Amino acid sequence: MSGRNDACPCGSGKKYKKCHGQEQTLDLKELTERELAVINRRFIDEGMNITHVEEMIQRDKQWFTALEAIFPPYLISDLSFESYAYIENRDVWVAFVKRELKNSHRTGVTRVLEAWLHPLWILAEVLREKDGVLEVKDEMSGIVYTIKSEANSKEGDWLFGIAFYNSDAADNRLQITKGLLFILQHRKDVMEAVYAKLSDFDNDSLRLYCSFEKLHE
């Protein structure tokens, strides 16, 4: 087997990691993402009880009514589920993830699950982008994190949403969720509205996302 820094056996003259080794990495990444998607689905089927499911049905109706003029339907669904599962019912989510960690998973999946034990709100300013990585500073704590660079993100913009954090992660890397939102730097009023509600968060996530009504004023 070729090492990642060895010459690729195909004869291209490139290092293995820059040639056919990339295919192996991509295949592993795809397998990891598939496994994580199955685990996430299992949380709905096994981690949540009938009361949670009934609450989610009613919640979705409320959220679609409140946010349909602000966000597209698919995003409203993501925002509703993520905040319900990861923040408002954190104990249920964490207990489920701990059970999953006792099962046998590939290393990449285990690392992700360990981060999933620590969901948090993030409202952060983009400080800089380098080599596909954003360095961001949380407005609430002042902690500087890194995330994988997102399309159209610029220095001075803000990002808001739910992320997962593993204290053992290199360079303070956050795992972001599908419901991550970007606030352009010229809309500081929206950031300040979110900041004010986040400072006095009372487990009402819908109230936070309603701050984005300002974008349509």
| DSSP codes, 95-151 | HHHHHHHTS---HHHHHHHHHHT-EEEEEEEEEEEETTEEEEEETTT--EEEEE--T
Contacts of 144 (CB under 8 A, 6+ apart): 127, 135, 136, 137, 138, 172
SS3 154: coil
25 vs 10, more confident: 10
Nearest to 159 by CA among 197, 135, 126, 196: 126
Is the predicted pLDDT of residue 22 greater than 50, yes or no? no
Is the predicted pLDDT of residue 83 greater than 80, yes or no? yes
C-beta neighbour count of 171 within 10 angstroms: 9
Provide the sign of the torsion angle of the four alpha carbons 100, 105, 108, 111, taken in this order.
positive
**Mean pLDDT over each residue of the chain, to the nearest integer:** 84
Poorest-confidence range of 14-18, 55-59, 92-96, 178-182? 14-18
31 vs 24, more confident: 31
pLDDT (0 to 100) of residue 17: 45
pTM of the model: 0.81
pLDDT (0 to 100) of residue 25: 40
Is the predicted pLDDT of residue 10 greater than 60, yes or no? no
List, for residues 58-82, the tens digit of each pLDDT value. 999 999 999 999 999 999 999 999 9
- Is residue 213 within 8 A of residue 70, CB to CB? The reply is yes
C-beta neighbour count of 112 within 10 angstroms: 19
25 vs 166, more confident: 166
Domain ranges of the chain: 21-216
- Distance from C-alpha of 59 to C-alpha of 210, rounded to nearest angstrom: 14
Torsions phi, psi for 26 (to 5 deg): -65, -40
pLDDT (0 to 100) of residue 173: 87
SS (H, E, C) 74-103: HHHHHHHHHHHHHHHCHHHHHHHHHHHHCC
- Is residue 75 within 8 A of residue 179, CB to CB? The reply is yes
List, for residues 118-149, the tens digit of each pLDDT value. 999 999 999 998 888 899 999 999 999 998 87
The pLDDT of 39-66, averaged and rounded, is 92
Is the predicted pLDDT of residue 178 greater than 90, yes or no? no
170 vs 83, more confident: 83
